[in-house]
Amino acid sequence: MTAGQAKPAEPAVADGLQERFDATIARDQRIEPRDWMPEGYRATLIRQIAQHAHSEIIGMQPEGEWITRAPSLRRKAILFAKVQDEAGHGLYLYSAAETLGADRADLTERLIEGRQKYSSIFNYPTLSFADVGVIGWFVDGAAICNQVPLCRSSYGPYARAMVRICKEESFHQRQGYELLMTMMRGTDAQREMVQDAVNRWWWPSLMMFGPPDDNSPNSARSMAWKIKRHSNDELRRRFVDMTVPQAEKLGVTLPDPELRWNEERGHHDFGTPDWDELTRVIQGDGPCNARRVERRRTAHEEGAWVREAALAHAAKQAARTARGAAA
């Protein structure tokens, strides 16, 4: 550029957009799809919301495997409703991702090709009906701890989706706890099933909150952008504090010899999850990863005709509406 030549227009960010975005975040107001946002913010949200949506959809499988084997009509109806709710949660979340410019078909491809993650917890097997109760109690309980603060997430469509999801997760958690209460009032064999399920699901449930804070590469930025409101370790601690008295009331033992109340801190001390196991499961090497993804791929392929029919129907409707408008 020679002297006297006009300066080229600055990129849009220089027009005060970044400042406006920062001010909106600082005032605890919401960013909406129409608003300018930094690309990193958009990418982080798409990553987290897509992983979350995939978790809901893959998360239908471990409990879904028990629908045909539920011990009574009542338990079957409850389980059916719960698994259906998870599908609904997945759909709200894919819609929230679409408001950021993501394409749902593309997200599904990424999931079934192993290019996008879903929660580690759904890679463990459900070996008895007590697992259904423990998933409701622990997994939905952990989901509530993690997701209630997300109702205040800075991105409007994500935060609003969370409100309804959390209400439903609350029902899920209670149905799980009620199922376990019933089993604990049953036979010795039923009580043993509950304790066995608690032993298997406790540590993987603590891992749901993600790696420890000093090894969580996304946390600092996500918290500065108020996408995440609390750190992984903080939410994990809340979950332990919430669950210990529930375990006492139920009459089960949580499988952690280091678990005890710390009077000084006003919280429980607890042992360290096996972080190598979490890494292995996230990287695809958990007990059920291959089975879960394969099942999702098959369902996707088998559903192709439904998607084609829905598109053909929509095209016909649009053509009919256009003809009506022209007449």
* Identified binder of ligand FAQ from the candidate list 108, 120, 175, 205, rule CB under 6 A: 120
What's the min distance (Å) between Cβ of 173 and ligand FAQ?
9
Cβ-contact 49, 37 below 8 angstroms: no
Nearer to ligand FAQ among residue 63 and residue 256 (C-beta): 63
Nearer to ligand FAQ among residue 5 and residue 68 (C-beta): 68
Q: Where are the alpha helices (DSSP H) in the chain?
A: 17-26, 39-58, 60-64, 73-98, 104-112, 129-134, 140-147, 156-184, 188-207, 219-224, 232-250, 275-282, 289-302, 304-326
Binding mask 38-77 for ligand FAQ (x = CB under 6 A): ---------xx--xx--xx--x------------------
Q: Residue 262 pairs with which residues in a beta bridge?
A: 267
**Interaction of residue 231 with ligand FAQ, rule CB under 6 A:** no
**Interaction of residue 25 with ligand FAQ, rule CB under 6 A:** no
Using the contact rule CB under 6 A, the part of the chain among 12-20, 70-78, 113-121, 267-275 near ligand FAQ is 113-121
Could you please report the per-residue DSSP string of 286-306?
STTHHHHHHHHHHHHHHTHHH
What's the min distance (Å) between Cβ of 104 and ligand FAQ?
17
Residue of 33, 248, 292 lying closest to 159 (CA atoms): 33
Give the whole-angstrom CA distance, residue 280 versus residue 274: 10
What's the min distance (Å) between Cβ of 136 and ligand FAQ?
7
**Interaction of residue 141 with ligand FAQ, rule CB under 6 A:** no
Nearer to ligand FAQ among residue 59 and residue 157 (C-beta): 59
Residue of 199, 231, 204 lying closest to 217 (CA atoms): 231
Give the whole-angstrom CA distance, residue 101 versus residue 112: 20
Residue of 271, 252, 136, 116 lying closest to 207 (CA atoms): 271
What's the min distance (Å) between Cβ of 92 and ligand FAQ?
12
Tokens of 267: 């919280």
Give contact residues for ligand FAQ (rule: CB under 6 A): 47-48, 51-52, 55-56, 59, 86, 117, 119-120, 135, 139-140, 143, 146, 207-211, 216-219, 222, 228, 232, 282
